[in-house]
Amino acid sequence: MDVYILNTSFKEIGVIDVYQSLIWTTRYYESGDFELYMPATETALEILQIGNYVERGGDENTMIIEKLEIKTDTENGNYIIASGRDLKSILDRRVIIPQQNISGLVLTELYSLINTICGNAAEAARKFPNFKTATISQPPQDTINAQVTGDVLYNYIVEVCKTYGYGWKITRSGTNLTCEIFVGVSRPLVHFSPEFDNLINTDYVINATNYKNMAYALGEGEGTARKSRPIPTKQPQGMNRREMYVDARDVSSNEGAISLPDYMNLLYQRGSEKLAENPITQDFSGSVISDIYKYKTDYNVGDIVTVENEYRITAETRIIEMIESWSADKMYTAIPTFENWEVTA
């Protein structure tokens, strides 16, 4: 697998085809990342620079070099380790300022927010050059009603996308960058199981350590006069109730410009988002043998597939991460991670 290095103007400046290992991770919600481990040659040291870009054939992701480490070893030679995240991480460079009131279709509102903060920002210095959001054709009908101030833009996009099951990506065409929010495809015929000899070395973990099912979102006011909204409306009882506190003091009525019912809805939205961050997690991963299904042809990151381990634990679950790796002897492995899921059998 050849690796292409581009400078900060997206001009190709080198190709690397000899390395000890390459790990390339694609994620549905968060930024993907990479790690390239190779001999510290003069050419490698020249082209592997902080801020340069890394691409590989057959993949739409562009990675940004964010960290370089040089190891000297008198016996085994000197090595350089380059690592970083994909283009989604550029939204980590912006905070949501000034206050943004969001109300409408989730996808439409997120695109508007991204454009306001970094695409068509009022302050020229905040704009990303040649950056745009994708064209909306038929957006999902999920709605959102929220107020946000001061959050890191990347963190907020990830948080909302996880709440509604949306993925996103930023891709390059020449010097142009496009941010796209999308929903993975359901692939009911794609079935990973040891029975089919296409899923090995599985790891299943169920964890309720941080689980919460009841939240109190507290907003404006002081003491007993502070506005409060419980989430959900139908509350769990007794030992099954697991409470959390959500400090939503930053959610403002703008001195009465936002009506009390609308303000309480904003508190509910904030509390719901924070509650969603504390589920019972069921993590399932395993190495995929690609003889039956081909990655990026039969399925992709974000798609919903059927997974079953050797104990007959079965789920219809989304692939939220794919870790691909290549070694010096050209050996390839692919390890998917599946989203938290409900056991169906």
Per-residue pLDDT tens for 157-170? 999 999 899 999 99
Beta bridge partner(s), residue 22? 36, 326
pLDDT of 343 higher than 50: no
| pLDDT tens figures, 40-66 | 999 999 999 999 999 999 899 999 999
Q: Which two tokens stand for residue 306?
A: 């059927």
Q: What is the mean pLDDT of residues 329-339?
A: 85
Beta bridge partner(s), residue 100? 148
Beta bridge partner(s), residue 323? 25, 335
Identify the CATH number of the domain defined by range 3-86.
Answer: 2.40.30
Share of the chain above pLDDT 70, in %: 98
Q: What pLDDT was estimated at residue 136?
A: 87
Identify the CATH number of the domain defined by range 94-182.
Answer: 3.55.50
Instruction: Calculate the average pLDDT of the chain.
Output: 91
Q: What pLDDT was estimated at residue 344?
A: 46
* Cβ-contact 48, 22 below 8 angstroms: no
Angstrom CA distances, 25 to 42, 71, 106, 156, stand at: 27, 23, 27, 21
Q: What pLDDT was estimated at residue 290?
A: 66
Q: What is the mean pLDDT of residues 251-268?
A: 93
Which residue ranges make up each domain of the chain? Answer: 3-86, 94-182, 186-208+280-321, 214-276
Which residues, 6+ apart, have CB-to-CB distance to 217 below 8 Å?
Answer: 228, 229, 230, 231, 246, 248, 267, 268, 270, 271, 274
Q: Which two tokens stand for residue 333?
A: 């492995």
Q: What pLDDT was estimated at residue 345?
A: 42
Q: What pLDDT was estimated at residue 76?
A: 79
Q: What is the mean pLDDT of residues 120-135?
A: 94
Q: What pLDDT was estimated at residue 155?
A: 96
pTM: 0.85
Q: How far apart are CA 5 and CA 31, in angstroms?
A: 19
pLDDT of 275 higher than 80: yes
Q: What pLDDT was estimated at residue 54?
A: 98
From 13-22, 166-175, 278-287, the region with the lowest mean pLDDT: 278-287
Q: What pLDDT was estimated at residue 206?
A: 86
